[in-house]
Structure 1
Amino acid sequence: MSDERRDSRGRQRGAARARGERTRTAQAPSQRRRGSDPARTAAFDVLREVDASDAYANLVLPPLLRERGVTGRDAAFATELAYGTLRLRGRYDAILARCVDRPLDRLDPPLLDVLRLGAHQVLGMRVPQHAAVSETVGLARERVGTGPAQMVNAVLRKVARTPLPEWLDLLRAAAPDAVTASAVVGSHPVWIARALREALAGDGRDPAELDALLEADNTAPRVTLVARPGLVSVTELRGQAPDGMRLDSGRWAPTALVLGGQDPLLLPAVADGRAGVQDEGSQVVALALAAAPLEGRDARWLDLCAGPGGKAALLAALAAQRGATLVANEVAPHRARLVAKALRAVPDGVVERVRTGDGREVGEQEPGAYDRVLVDAPCTGLGALRRRPESRWRRTPADLSALTGLQRELLSCAIDAVRVGGVVAYVTCSPHLAETRLVVDDVLRRRRVDGVPDAERIDAPAALRAVVAPGVDLPLGDRADAQLWPHVHGTDAMHLTLVRRVR
């Protein structure tokens, strides 16, 4: 954008005003929205931080709201506006592209973010259309200039003229194939939608569930707490709830409670580390490793990729009950500090150490030293897109090659580190076949001693069913590995394979 189109404060002006021409609206100057409210401004600033600095909304928004004193309903509005816009960005961009007279990539990024925020209010929130348009125009006038504000007004009025169901029908009709249609309407990159469809089929599920899965990714998850066994019980945790805080039983894990409102840090057990915030899928895969049948001693456990420490803390609590110890390894020093913080409530002597180092070296340094090993492998995170909505727009297929190579090395190292008869849990927060089944297949195929495999899969679904709440039927496929799904289980899409060292 040329300097001639900027005013003295650096804001963009309309073409007519840049030429010295005056434009008028039907509103009197006193009626025009000059700026926006703190909630919308906060949501806009989060989107700019996510775009400009590759930040994560869940790390940016809470401190920003605290600093600006945005609380209560305004904070809830800002949260839904920011997160909802990030989740449904792909859908809104497809709609905006039909209402803007130039390619979206030619718009200034701040202006495009304003349009996305406005589209979400018009189509995705219970905001009266006139308020959604006028407040967004005020935000545009304040943050990107008067000229763009006029454009925002015109574009959002076009968006508002068509109800959402009709927009979605138009988008589906324009797509070249069914998967692309699902991706655009469900606001996911097409490559991710294709990968998820293949993963559904690979798990023995109907690929037609794709739309339900994408919709689940676009639904904000409830906060789930873990009561770490031996440190605090579910009953004790419930008893700590202040007035107005609702805690419901988890669907699967006996350690889980679902938070119905308020800050979890208001619970003393969360504040001091006896409990924590942890997805129920993450809880049950850790519980399954601890419950997997073992031959021989059960004294020393390893979390190979422990950061930020949720699974390590749950395993350490379980180890304490059995007289076992845990070593937690994490390659990144700042994440190792998070692990140490997560473990602060574990009794002395249970955690041997929080080791900072490359997990691929542990098997060579300590061969056969552990009875149970968790490999919570670095992955694309496609199973947690409902929690980190911006991730879907950052990941590319090129990420897979580097990650799957690392995943193979870590799994092979874990098998080296476990003793004969011991068990390794290979876990990813991704259902992508290239990160799950194909990694395990390749590692087991290569691991042979005198032509005989030295490790084998064991029944992961059976281990999961053994740890869920009594009387609960956990729906899983009929394979040896196990895949959880947001639209089926209400958890992140956690994958679990259990491997026993046999030679």
Structure 2
Amino acid sequence: MSRATPARRVALDVIRAVRESDAYANLLLPVRIGRAKLSDADAGLATELTYGTLRMQGYYDAVIAIASGRSVDRIDPPILDVLRLACHQLLSLRVATHAAVDESVELAKEVGSRSAVGFTNGVLRTISRSNPEEWRERVLATARSGEEALALEHSHPLWVTRAIRQVLVAEGRESELEAALIADNVAPRVSLAVLPGLAHRVELPGTPAPYSPLGVRLSGGDPLRVPAVTEGRARVQDEGSQLAALVLSRARPVEPGELWLDLCAGPGGKAALLAAEAAGGGATLIANEVVPARAELVRSAVAAISPAPEVRVGDGTTVGSEHPAHFDRILLDAPCTGLGALRRRPEARWRKQPGDVAGLGPLQSALLESAIAALKPGGLLAYVTCSPHAAETKSIVASVLRKHPEVSRLDTPAVLQAIASEPLDLAPGDHVQLWPHRHGTDAMFIQLLTKA
């Protein structure tokens, strides 16, 4: 019988599933915790072990490579999972060395050969003989540049680090690069948003969000036990997502009879907020989603709103040709790499490659072309991504607008500043780029457009 604690076994199971089958840790971990019937304390440990290991995987791989004397791609993946999990305990948590090593060896016995178990024990004994600061110095000594040193220390792929740096340089804030990387490794506070007309912010626990007039930030507790959330009158929603929806709905007064469109609505968080905002002003929202299963999530998200908005299943790239000059306001929350939400999905940084950015570009451009075609003259269009990568944000907008002289950018920062409860520290320009380190939100990009 294995002596490994249930919390470590759950963490390893989730880490393996993330690697082997592209599982999402945030979805799988609660299921595995419930199945194992972990106590609150063990559930907390399993959560920290899972997310901490996934976040710092790149750094731990550098440590393992030095300690083992071999590249991590020459280590059996199941054993590498065990070593990464042990590294988190040895280098980042106050776990007794003997407990971290002994239990990791027990886990290695379950997933590897006898020689692999001996290898695991030897590597972990080597790691445990030096303190975390000594390992940091050794890892940084392998870097070929200051940029690579930051990528290693804060466990980001180098291409992601360079992409973030590029945006910050354009903002004149290159000095914030390390702060931006650090913020990606800090678990975010849970944010809630009330749906206007269905709930009031005073009903929610927590403290008022600094920017969204509809939001609160929780300091703890299960958000799904909040009555307004269970009743569908409030939602778990990042404050950046709230602001992205409000920029469109509150850019100017709503005229009764307006028709709004959420072009890529799944899973439905922004659609619910827009639907409530539309209903309060006498407008109507239509939510479009290409994936049927995600459309069902949208229907669930908007179920509490009366009358419920129409949810369509359809290809967003054809909406413009099918419904030309039809909508007064359109939200295009474009499919993207999700690099702006790495603090929530730590494994995403290791799954994405530079080619993913280029691969999404044609779809993002086609959706924006479709949205422009579907927009009425004088209408409002918000192009939004949960990514700060310039190739998914400014470059897409600029390339499409070169073909459309009838479309112009609006002063999005001015619109957002008028909505926000407190002043936002935004870089100059006509778009908005939110940041975890600066605003405590996901790194949302928002560009408001209008059509002559």
Please, what TM-score do these two structures have when normalized by structure 1? Answer: 0.87
Which of 338, 344, 362 aligns to 1:381? It is: 338
- Residues in 2 aligned to 1:417 and 1:57: alpha-carbon distance in whole angstroms: 37
- Residues in 1 aligned to 2:403 and 2:39: alpha-carbon distance in whole angstroms: 56
- Residues in 2 aligned to 1:161 and 1:208: alpha-carbon distance in whole angstroms: 35
Are 2:50 and 1:82 equivalent residues in the alignment?
Answer: yes
Which is further off, 404-413 or 111-120?
Answer: 404-413
Q: SS of 2:192's equivalent?
A: strand
Q: How do 1:340-351 residues align onto structure 2 when only pairs under 5 Å count? A: 340-348=299-307, 351=309
- What does residue 265 of structure 1 align with? 224
Q: SS of 1:446's equivalent?
A: coil
Which of 151, 162, 167 aligns to 1:199? It is: 167
- Residues in 1 aligned to 2:74 and 2:137: alpha-carbon distance in whole angstroms: 26
Are the aligned partners of 1:94 and 1:171 in contact in 2 as well (CA < 8 Å)? yes
Q: How do 1:99-498 residues align onto structure 2 when only pairs under 5 Å count? A: 99-202=67-170, 204-238=171-205, 247-293=206-252, 299-348=258-307, 351=309, 353-447=310-404, 453-469=405-421, 472-498=422-448
Are 2:452 and 1:499 equivalent residues in the alignment?
Answer: no
Shift of 1:170: 2.3
Shift of 1:181: 1.1
Shift of 1:102: 2.9
Are the aligned partners of 1:304 and 1:414 in contact in 2 as well (CA < 8 Å)? yes
Structure 1, unaligned runs of 5 or more: 1-32, 239-246, 448-452
Shift of 1:268: 2.0
After superposition, the Cα gap between the structure-2 partners of 1:192 and 1:85, relative to the gap in structure 1 and judged at 3 Å, is same
- Residues in 2 aligned to 1:265 and 1:303: alpha-carbon distance in whole angstroms: 25
Shift of 1:363: 0.9
- Residues in 1 aligned to 2:220 and 2:110: alpha-carbon distance in whole angstroms: 33
Are the aligned partners of 1:35 and 1:142 in contact in 2 as well (CA < 8 Å)? no
Cα shift readout 1:27-83 (whole Å, capped 9, x = no counterpart) = xxxxxx943011000000001100110111011111111111013010010011001
Q: State percent identity of aligned pairs.
A: 51
Are 2:21 and 1:69 equivalent residues in the alignment?
Answer: no
> Which amino acid in the other structure matches residue 288 of structure 1?
V
After superposition, the Cα gap between the structure-2 partners of 1:260 and 1:146, relative to the gap in structure 1 and judged at 3 Å, is farther
Which is further off, 87-96 or 68-77?
Answer: 68-77
Q: Which has the larger radius of gyration?
A: 1
Shift of 1:287: 0.7
Shift of 1:261: 2.1
Are the aligned partners of 1:316 and 1:325 in contact in 2 as well (CA < 8 Å)? yes
> Which amino acid in the other structure matches residue 58 of structure 1?
N
> Which amino acid in the other structure matches residue 441 of structure 1?
A
Cα shift readout 1:453-497 (whole Å, capped 9, x = no counterpart) = 11100011011111111xx11110110001001111111100000
Shift of 1:296: 7.0
- Residues in 1 aligned to 2:92 and 2:19: alpha-carbon distance in whole angstroms: 21
- Residues in 1 aligned to 2:283 and 2:255: alpha-carbon distance in whole angstroms: 13
- What does residue 30 of structure 1 align with? none
Q: SS of 1:315's equivalent?
A: helix
- Residues in 1 aligned to 2:95 and 2:214: alpha-carbon distance in whole angstroms: 38
Q: SS of 2:66's equivalent?
A: coil
> Which amino acid in the other structure matches residue 495 of structure 1?
F
Which is further off, 103-112 or 89-98?
Answer: 103-112
- Residues in 2 aligned to 1:252 and 1:70: alpha-carbon distance in whole angstroms: 37
Shift of 1:146: 4.4
Q: How do 1:91-102 residues align onto structure 2 when only pairs under 5 Å count? A: 91-102=59-70
- Residues in 2 aligned to 1:211 and 1:464: alpha-carbon distance in whole angstroms: 26
Are the aligned partners of 2:257 and 2:284 in contact in 1 as well (CA < 8 Å)? no
Which is further off, 322-331 or 164-173?
Answer: 164-173
Are the aligned partners of 1:99 and 1:159 in contact in 2 as well (CA < 8 Å)? yes
Q: SS of 1:174's equivalent?
A: coil
Q: SS of 1:427's equivalent?
A: strand
> Which amino acid in the other structure matches residue 464 of structure 1?
L
After superposition, the Cα gap between the structure-2 partners of 1:403 and 1:322, relative to the gap in structure 1 and judged at 3 Å, is same
Shift of 1:415: 1.2
- Residues in 1 aligned to 2:173 and 2:256: alpha-carbon distance in whole angstroms: 42
Q: SS of 2:85's equivalent?
A: helix
After superposition, the Cα gap between the structure-2 partners of 1:365 and 1:34, relative to the gap in structure 1 and judged at 3 Å, is closer
Are the aligned partners of 1:297 and 1:371 in contact in 2 as well (CA < 8 Å)? no
> Which amino acid in the other structure matches residue 216 of structure 1?
A
Q: SS of 2:38's equivalent?
A: coil
The number of residues matched between the two structures is 452
- Residues in 2 aligned to 1:146 and 1:35: alpha-carbon distance in whole angstroms: 17
Shift of 1:364: 1.0
After superposition, the Cα gap between the structure-2 partners of 1:317 and 1:489, relative to the gap in structure 1 and judged at 3 Å, is same
> Which amino acid in the other structure matches residue 220 of structure 2?
G
Shift of 1:298: 6.1
- Residues in 2 aligned to 1:295 and 1:429: alpha-carbon distance in whole angstroms: 26
- Residues in 2 aligned to 1:257 and 1:227: alpha-carbon distance in whole angstroms: 9
Shift of 1:173: 2.4
Q: SS of 1:491's equivalent?
A: coil
- Residues in 2 aligned to 1:252 and 1:162: alpha-carbon distance in whole angstroms: 44
Shift of 1:262: 2.4
- What does residue 22 of structure 2 align with? 54
After superposition, the Cα gap between the structure-2 partners of 1:296 and 1:69, relative to the gap in structure 1 and judged at 3 Å, is closer
- Residues in 2 aligned to 1:391 and 1:439: alpha-carbon distance in whole angstroms: 22
